[in-house]
């Protein structure tokens, strides 16, 4: 998978050179490039923002640098993409909420482009023009406000990148996770069997794998019912 990120803080993504995603980059499973939006300005101060039309506090990111940055990444009309067309994702508090389902869907795509806004956001025409030549999505990572898109893009790259075959050593570990099957994950334990007066649930030491599986499922349901009842599938909702 090819990932391009447009940002005024390209160094923010240096951290992707470590851990699982770092190895995925070295092995060619993941090709991540951070582009500095200021490289697409032409004034002495490398200006990327200006005051908002209609007034209001703060500054808005100018369309021209974004247009040139996306020109340098997206295929032109004549260059039909070799594989599937890129998806351009702009993190935004006004976006569709990012979910594991969306991560799984985006992990199937060959080319993702992320545009990191700052200030009060990006001129709307950037989204409108990009939509004439690619699939564009505004995506939010949750109902709270950040100062810019970089943290959100980092989270999405990790959530998507780890689903690419070969990135995570043991694909089995991707299966029993929170949100993967719609329920929150069960509690985990490891040695020692007793720690500060706290014992590992005896069922987990029984060797009875059917009973362990049943216990774990029950824990998932109980946790989900308590913490995230909104995730419970209809057949597990408590009877009214």
Residues of this chain that bind ligand JF8 (CB under 6 A) = 91-93, 95, 117-118, 121, 140-142, 144-149, 152
Chain residue at closest Cβ approach to ligand JF8 = 91
Is residue 117 annotated as involved in ligand binding? Answer: yes
Closer residue to ligand JF8, CB minimum distance, 16 or 152:
152
Residue closer to ligand JF8 (CB basis): 52 or 148: 148
Q: What three-state secondary structure class fits 19?
A: helix
* Residue 199 CB, nearest approach to ligand JF8 (Å): 40
- Tell me the CA end-to-end span of the chain in Å, nearest whole number: 46
What are residue 112's DSSP bridge partners?
3, 87
Helix or strand (DSSP H, E) at 224: helix 209-227
User: What is the closest distance, in whole angstroms, from the C-beta atom of residue 52 to ligand JF8 in the complex?
Assistant: 13
Q: Does the annotation flag 146 for ligand binding?
A: yes
Among left, alpha and beta (phi > 0; psi -120 to 50; other), residue 142 is left
Give, as one character, the DSSP assignment of residue 58.
Answer: S
Q: How many Cβ atoms from other residues are within 10 Å of residue 224's Cβ?
A: 21
Instruction: Determine if residue 167 is labeled as part of a ligand binding site.
Output: no
Mark residue 166 as left, alpha or beta (left: phi above 0; alpha: psi -120 to 50; beta: remaining). left
144 is in an annotated binding site: yes
Task: Give the closest residue to 12 by CA, choosing from 194, 152, 138, 204.
Answer: 152
Nearer residue to ligand JF8 within complex by CB, 179 or 225: 179
Beta carbon of residue 49, minimum distance to ligand JF8 (angstroms, whole number): 11
Least distance from ligand JF8 to the Cβ atom of residue 20, Å: 22
Confirm whether residue 145 is marked as ligand binding.
yes
Is 143 marked as a binding-site residue? yes
How far apart are CB 77 and ligand JF8 at their closest, in Å?
A: 29
Annotated binding site for S-adenosyl-L-methionine: 117, 141-146
């Amino acid at each position: 998978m090819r990932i391009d990120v447009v940002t005024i803080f390209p160094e923010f993504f240096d951290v992707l050179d470590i851990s699982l995603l770092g190895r995925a980059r070295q092995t060619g499973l993941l090709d991540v490039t951070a582009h500095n939006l200021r490289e697409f300005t032409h004034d002495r101060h490398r200006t990327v923002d200006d005051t908002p039309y209609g007034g209001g506090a703060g500054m808005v990111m100018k369309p021209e640098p974004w247009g040139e940055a996306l020109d340098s990444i997206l295929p032109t009309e004549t260059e039909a993409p070799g594989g599937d067309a890129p998806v351009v994702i702009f993190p935004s508090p006004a976006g569709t909420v990012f979910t594991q389902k969306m991560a799984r869907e985006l992990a199937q795509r060959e080319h993702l482009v992320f545009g990191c806004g700052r200030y009060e956001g990006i001129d709307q025409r950037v989204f409108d023009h990009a939509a004439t030549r690619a699939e564009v999505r505004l995506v939010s990572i949750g109902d709270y406000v950040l100062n810019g898109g970089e943290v959100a893009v980092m989270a999405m790259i990790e959530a998507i990148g780890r689903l690419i075959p070969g990135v995570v050593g043991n694909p089995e570990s991707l299966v029993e996770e929170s949100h993967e099957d719609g329920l929150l994950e069960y509690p985990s334990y490891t040695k020692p069997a007793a720690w500060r007066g706290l014992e590992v649930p005896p069922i987990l030491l029984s060797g009875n794998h059917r009973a362990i599986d049943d216990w774990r499922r029950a824990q998932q349901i109980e946790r989900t019912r308590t913490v995230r009842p909104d995730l419970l599938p209809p057949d597990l909702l408590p009877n009214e």
